[in-house]
Structure 1
Amino acid sequence: MVESVPFSVIIPARMASSRLPDKPLADILGLPMVVRVAQRAAQSAARQVVVATDDDRVLQACQQQGVRALMTRKDHPSGSDRLAEAAELMGLEDAELVVNVQGDEPLIDPLLINAVAAQLNRVPEASMSTAAHPVGSMEDYLNPNVVKVVLNARSLALYFSRAPIAWWRDGHVGHGFRSLPSPVPLRHIGLYAYRAGFLRLFPRLPPAPLETLESLEQLRALWHGYTIAVHTTVRAPGPGVDTPEDLERVRQLLAMPGA
């Protein structure tokens, strides 16, 4: 059982998606997607759930459904900058915990949100936390779009990569592997918790060369010497929404009895 700790959820939602225009407002069984995400996050132990947006349409859609939303600047270069501004607008103290739930995750598990917050709370030297689950197939292990993470004995992140890590030297035969390595590689889940003070600092840190190389923003924290605690779950998360096909799949899943 995951212990209960006080935390807030912030959901960044901007309208500039190229693969799925107006993504936050995409209809999912009669509600905008961002509202579905907020409702799901509200099933966690969060003391408050807030959408941080840059568009009046998202703000109004949230308000119509009783979801708290804040307007943030349109010129933020990343979601982390938007989160930092939202934390300022909310008046969060440096030690308070914030969980960043992406606005395109309408199937996010509320218990996973709780677990990521609890993981950060358990590791006082960590500035942020995230989640991972065992890789289930060779295809995912080798797929550069599936981000992997390796941990130390205390479940702190050593490195994140699009490459197949940890590399099984003796298992590589010819042009492939006999099987997945042991211990099983971990797939990174893009769910983060931060201490609010670090969240305000993070966007001001210079981008790291490894971050640019791998196109993974979390490497900036490791590059500058900050610690990331990782919660490992046995369950893969529900699918997110990046494309019209993803959207239709999520609609079908939520339409199923008991969803």
Structure 2
Amino acid sequence: MSFTVLVPARLASTRLPDKPLADIAGVPMVARVAQRAAQSGAARVVVAADHASILAACHTHGVEAILTRQDHPSGSDRLAEACEQLGLDGDAVVVNVQGDEPLIDPALIDAVAAALLARPDAAMSTAVHAIDSVADYLNPNVVKAVLDAQGNALYFSRAPIPWWRDGAAPGVPPVQLPSPAPLRHIGIYGYRAGFVRRFPSLPPSPLETIEALEQLRALWHGHRIAVHVSDAAPGPGVDTPEDLARVRALFGAAN
């Protein structure tokens, strides 16, 4: 199994300024992410940075990094440029690991890559895990996914799907989950490099605009997304100062 991990890293963050450079037990967060990704089966791990300070931090800690444009509208556009800079073959498999996931499980990275490598008919892969609380099922910030019999994504939504028609009285929130359990989307993606390069040129779909979920663009245009069902939820990501404090405490407890 041969694949490349790309970690897009953007310096600007409204909720946590200079997030990629946030210190976690003496190492900047983006380098922590790359170090975790290097524990997977990836042949290469590369940070796609938008600022020289990220590039310098990565090089200080022995992490390969390239400088990409600052004006990319999304992480997908940054990935497309990175694939071009690295000269990746169109059939090469790339796993996009978010730069704010310092506790990502290397086995999950391998599973997402394997899901795509096993499915030549799919352009992308991703991961989900079973939801175990009604609160998460109803939370619009928790993205849900439904799959077909072959493990392809049928749809992603912020709404509670599938909706259990008989699980509650009309207008009353359910108090228990449907069975089988609904699935929570995990924000990690595998791509074929050729598809990554084409993706930014695909017109955004109405569903993507409504749900604010970029992966719906691929489904809208008829591309299959193979889905790995994980047995466990991923480690906590970092979006806020509170998240950062939680992750720092976990690293401190482990060392």
Q: Which residue of the other structure, out of 218, 225, 228, is the alignment partner of 1:228?
A: 225
What number of residue pairs does the alignment pair up? 254
Partner in structure 2 of residue 163 of structure 1 = 159
Partner in structure 2 of residue 7 of structure 1 = 3
- Partner Cα separation in structure 2 for residue 234 and residue 62 of structure 1: 32
Amino acid at match of 1:98: V
Q: Which residue of the other structure, out of 197, 200, 225, is the alignment partner of 2:197?
A: 200
Q: Which residue of the other structure, out of 234, 237, 244, is the alignment partner of 1:247?
A: 244
DSSP 3-state at the match of 1:176: coil
- Partner Cα separation in structure 2 for residue 221 and residue 70 of structure 1: 26
DSSP 3-state at the match of 1:123: coil
- Partner Cα separation in structure 2 for residue 99 and residue 180 of structure 1: 32
Deviation at 1:123, TM superposition (A): 1.0
TM-score, with length taken from structure 1: 0.97
- Partner Cα separation in structure 1 for residue 174 and residue 17 of structure 2: 40
Q: Which residue of the other structure, out of 210, 215, 220, is the alignment partner of 1:213?
A: 210
Q: Which residue of the other structure, out of 15, 32, 57, is the alignment partner of 1:19?
A: 15
- Partner Cα separation in structure 1 for residue 29 and residue 169 of structure 2: 45
Indicate conservation of the 8 Å contact 2:23/2:29, yes or no: yes
Deviation at 1:243, TM superposition (A): 0.3
- Partner Cα separation in structure 2 for residue 178 and residue 38 of structure 1: 40
TM-score, with length taken from structure 2: 0.98
Partner in structure 2 of residue 183 of structure 1 = 180
Deviation at 1:172, TM superposition (A): 2.0
Q: Which residue of the other structure, out of 150, 153, 168, is the alignment partner of 2:149?
A: 153
Partner in structure 2 of residue 238 of structure 1 = 235
Q: Percent identity?
A: 67
User: Counterparts of 1:29-108 in structure 2 under 5 Å?
Assistant: 29-108=25-104
Q: Structure 1: which 4+ aligned runs deviate by more than 2 Å? A: none
Superposed CA RMSD: 0.8
DSSP 3-state at the match of 2:166: helix
Indicate conservation of the 8 Å contact 2:3/2:95, yes or no: yes
Query: Deviations for 1:19-72, whole angstroms, at most 9, x for unmatched residues?
Result: 000000000000000000000000000000000011000000001111000000
- Partner Cα separation in structure 2 for residue 250 and residue 35 of structure 1: 14
